Amino acid sequence: MPVTAAEKDHYPGWKDNPLPDGPVGEAIAYGSRILAHTPENAPAYVGNALNCTSCHLNGGRTPWAAPWVGIWGVFPEFRSRNAKVNTLQDRINDCFERSLNGRALAPESREMIGILAYMQWLSRDVPTGKNVSSRGFLHIKSTLTPDPHRGARIYAQKCALCHGDEGQGSYAASGAMIYPPLWGPRSFNIGAGMARLNTAAAFVKANMPFGQGNSLTDQEAFDVAVFFTRQPRPDFAGKLDDWPKGGRPEDARY
């Protein structure tokens, strides 16, 4: 179910307010720059062309695009993927290592502190321990078996214009990324949440084509997602350590 405009208003933290003055405001602004332009601002930790906000849309303020609003107050949290209680820093580093095919930040690094400051600021009006209603991704189901051939046709008609015929994304003459890649060496790796069929389909359903969320049927979202998630992409060396105590989701790639 899409989030209505009225529902968005439940989360005052989604709105832009002036940043606090002084060092905290500077840390928030720095964190925001890293998240929105990650390869430029944290080059040592990024192994592909994506920004954090390529998926966490609008600076982490879009419902059903794994928003960061409220995220500050819900960690530490148990996750079956590593069978541990994870801090927010652990979770951020998961996306650096998998979604950005890169390396973990030191928990006390200036970059990590900036990112945390930004996420806390976004979360400032959400009660501690409370999930926003649109946390994570939509829950959708396919009625038919997802079909990559149907998906390839949808991709050519509705996605390739921005994401490229070969899923490579599009780039300015300077090399700056304009539209993010969906597969190939500059995209997320096989260990990323977006490499999982259900997650990718749910993201696409709510958010793609960009600016036309909820225009595909659930089945179309699954078909295009099964097509692009199965394309070649970087491997993830740590994959063998995932789900050590079980709970492996059925759509995991390994």
- Collapse the DSSP code of 67 into the 3-class scheme (helix H, G, I; strand E, B; otherwise coil) and give the result: coil
**DSSP states along 226-244:** HHHHTS-----GGGGGSST
205 contacts ligand HEC (rule: CB under 6 A): no
Distance CA 200, CA 198 (A): 6
Residue type, 201: A
27 contacts ligand HEC (rule: CB under 6 A): no
99 contacts ligand HEC (rule: CB under 6 A): yes
Distance CA 139, CA 120 (A): 26
Residue written as token pair 């492996």: 248
Min dist. Cβ of residue 21 to ligand HEC (A): 25
Residue type, 44: A
Partners of 170 in the β-ladder = 179
Region of 7-15, 21-29, 92-100, 235-243 interacting with ligand HEC (CB under 6 A): 92-100
Q: Where in 142-201 is the site for ligand HEC (CB under 6 A)?
A: 158-159, 161-163, 179-182, 187-188, 192-194, 199-200
Residue span 212-231 as binding mask against ligand HEC, x where in contact by CB under 6 A, dash where not: ------------x---x---
Q: Could you say which of 32, 41, 53, 142 contacts ligand HEC (CB under 6 A)? A: 53
Residue whose CB is less far from ligand HEC, 21 or 172: 172
Min dist. Cβ of residue 95 to ligand HEC (A): 3
Distance CA 103, CA 118 (A): 20
Q: How many residues bind ligand HEC (CB under 6 A)?
A: 45
Region of 1-9, 122-130, 206-214, 236-244 interacting with ligand HEC (CB under 6 A): 206-214
Pull the structure tokens for residue 217: 């049927």
Partners of 85 in the β-ladder = 78
Residues whose CB is less than 8 angstroms from the CB of residue 147 and which lie 6 or more positions away in sequence, other chains included: 223, 226
Region of 16-24, 87-95, 138-146, 232-240 interacting with ligand HEC (CB under 6 A): 87-95
Min dist. Cβ of residue 5 to ligand HEC (A): 20
Region of 106-114, 138-146, 204-212, 233-241 interacting with ligand HEC (CB under 6 A): 204-212
Pull the structure tokens for residue 63: 């419902």
Q: Could you say which of 28, 50, 69, 112 contacts ligand HEC (CB under 6 A)? A: 50
Yes or no: say if 65 and 59 are a contact pair by the CB < 8 Å rule: no
Distance CA 55, CA 213 (A): 13
The answer to whether the bond into 249 is cis (omega within 30° of 0) is no
- Residues forming contacts to ligand HEC in the complex (CB under 6 A) are 35, 38, 50-57, 66, 68, 71, 91-92, 95-96, 99-100, 115, 135-136, 158-159, 161-163, 179-182, 187-188, 192-194, 199-200, 203-204, 208-210, 224, 228
